[in-house]
Structure formats: C-alpha cells, structure tokens
Amino acid sequence: MTCSSVQVQPYLLEALEEKFTLHKLDTTTEPDKAARFLRTHRDSIRAVVGTAFVGADAELIDQLPNLEIVSSYSVGVDKIDLAKCKEKGIRVTNCPDVSTDDVADLALGLMLAVSRRLCPIDRYVRSGLWSKLDFFSKQFSGKTVGIIGPGNIGMAIAKRAEAFGCPISYFSRSQKPACINYNYCPTVVDLAANCDILVVACALTPDTRHIINRDVIDALGPEGVLVNIGRGPHVDEAELVSALLEGRLGGAGLDVFQDEPNVPEELFKLDNVVLMPHVGSATVEARKAMADLVVGNLEAHFLNKPLLTPVV
Ligand SMILES: O=CC(=O)O
C-alpha cells in the first residue's frame, strides 16, 4: 500500500501500519526520490491512500499494475482520475459526511471573520493600538447568503446562516426540493448579484472550474464577500486578486487556493481577506472519523465485503 503522508494524522498512519504493509510516498521530497520509490514498490502496491492534496492521477495509476483500490482521506475526489479507475476496475472510496459540520462551521467562521474584521482588529489589540483602532465592521446577521452547491456541506452552511437570520439563495444545475425555503438562482452571476456573501460549496469538476470568474466577482461587487471552502480552482484567482486590490470586491474568506501551498502574496497585505491553509475538515474529531473510514474501506475491500463509502 502507498500513502501520501502530507497532512495525514499519526493516528491514520499507525492504523495503516498495524493492519497493512505501508510504504509512505512523501510527495514533498524531490521527484527523483518519488520515481525511485515507485520503481521499488510498484508491483507490491495494491492500494493507494490519497488526500485532498495528492490523489492518484493517470500517471500514478499507470505505474501501479496491481492497484485495486484508492481510499481517499478526503471528501473531494478531484485529485483522483475517476474515469481511469473505472476503466481499469480500480475501486475508489472517500470520506463523506463526517466532516460536514466542521467545514460548515469554518465557512461561518470565515463569514463572521471577514464581516466583523476579526483578524485585523485582533492584530490592532495585540500591537497595543486599542485606543487608536478603527474598530468598525459590517453586520453579519441578516445578510443574504448565496450558496453554490446545496449538497450536504452547502445545506449545513445554509442551516447555520439561517440561525443568524440570513436569507438563503442558491445556485445548482436544477432546483432542489430540499431547498424549498431558499431562493433559486438559475445562474451564478444572478446569485452573486442577489447576495451579500457568496459561498463556494460544490465539488470541483471540469464544469465548476473557475465558476467564480470576473463576471461573478463584478456582480458580487465592492460590498460583497466571497467565501471559498471548496477547492482553489473553483476561483479564477488572478481575477480575484485584482478585484480585491482594486476594491471591486468587498472581501474574501479563503480556505483553499489554486496552487497550494502557494498563496498569492498580494493577499497578505489586505485586511479584508482571511486566509486559511485548507483546514476545513482539520478537527481532531473529523480527521479521526475520516481515518476510520479510510481503514474500514480498505479492510472491507481486502475481505471482499461491501465498501463503506464507495465512489467508484
Ligand atoms: O478538502 C478536504 C476534503 O476533501 O476532505
């Protein structure tokens, strides 16, 4: 089995080591080392454990002739070549549901942090500027929240925002019966034009890449806030950065970036932006439950039992 060890809890590594023969592919080291690793282990590897950052692309899959399953320590499976897995009969599992509350909590945290300017005001206090600080911020309660992708996470965000008295609008390809109390917008531009805070909560697919483009940003406007807890490539980052620098967008709360771990440096000097290092699901509780699913899926596969959370 191979495991990308970036951002993996010791708990998961220990469980994998106890139950399987684990080879750790450290993707942060030089490419030569990774190539050597694959040459050494390619024939014995029957399972890959991926993460939200490193999955199994066509190149990796092609190098592993005996690969049977990719068990991802993530909800999103955008780093796995699903078509290739289907074609080769390789099973794929992910970790749905167990981090929904934590990701939704972080989305609300980002909305509150940007609206109430929590980070810059905290910095003023720490630097002894209590009496001089500009402490005014914008109300969050009652603001219209627009959700792109009313799936499990999107609905958990909506439910929390409703408790703050926020009317909810949403965009998805079709109207959802579960969203009967929410306002449906048939396009993302329409949604952006009709909300104060726009949240990206959909899966990353070829259709949703750059779903936040210049037109959407302009429709959200200089008072609008963008929150992204989805994936970096959902947003045209160059457009986002210029809109923020030019004051065409009111603010942003970002947990994900186009080229992680690289964050556009221009954002560092902006007080209306809150930056997180892709940690939506990174609570001890959620990551433990995710680790249990990764191991449970692998055990089920090797015992010929039904997978717990199959994707393919
Ligand atoms: O981004 C995190 C995940 O997909 O679990």
Active site residue 260: yes
In the structure encoding, which two tokens stand for residue 253, read together? 């709360």
In the structure encoding, which two tokens stand for residue 39, read together? 């040459």
Q: What is the pLDDT of residue 131?
A: 78
- Per residue in 261-305, pLDDT tens? 999 999 999 999 999 999 999 999 999 999 999 999 999 999 999
**What angle, 0 to 180 degrees and rounded to 10, lies between the N-to-C axes of helices 100-115 and 152-163?**
50
**Residue 77, ligand 1, Cβ within 6 A:** no
Residue 41's pLDDT band (boundaries 50, 70, 90)?
A: very high
Q: What is the pLDDT of residue 25?
A: 85
For 115-221, where are the E strands, in sequence order?
145-148, 168-171, 183-184, 197-200
Closest atom of ligand 1 to 99 CA is 5
Paired residues of 146 in beta bridges? 169, 198
Q: What is the pLDDT of residue 9?
A: 84
Q: What is the pLDDT of residue 197?
A: 99
Q: What is the pLDDT of residue 3?
A: 57
Active site residue 231: yes
| Mean pLDDT lowest among 20-34, 93-107, 156-170 | 20-34
pLDDT at 38 over 70: yes
- d(CA 55, CA 309) in angstroms, rounded, equals 17
pLDDT at 185 over 90: yes
Q: Whose CA is nearest to atom 5 of ligand 1?
A: 74
Q: How much is the average pLDDT of 116-124? A: 95
Name which of 19, 31, 20, 22 is nearest 4 in CA terms: 22
**Residue 74, ligand 1, Cβ within 6 A:** yes
pTM of the predicted structure, to 2 decimals: 0.95
- d(CA 202, CA 148) in angstroms, rounded, equals 6
**Residue 281, ligand 1, Cβ within 6 A:** yes
Paired residues of 291 in beta bridges? none
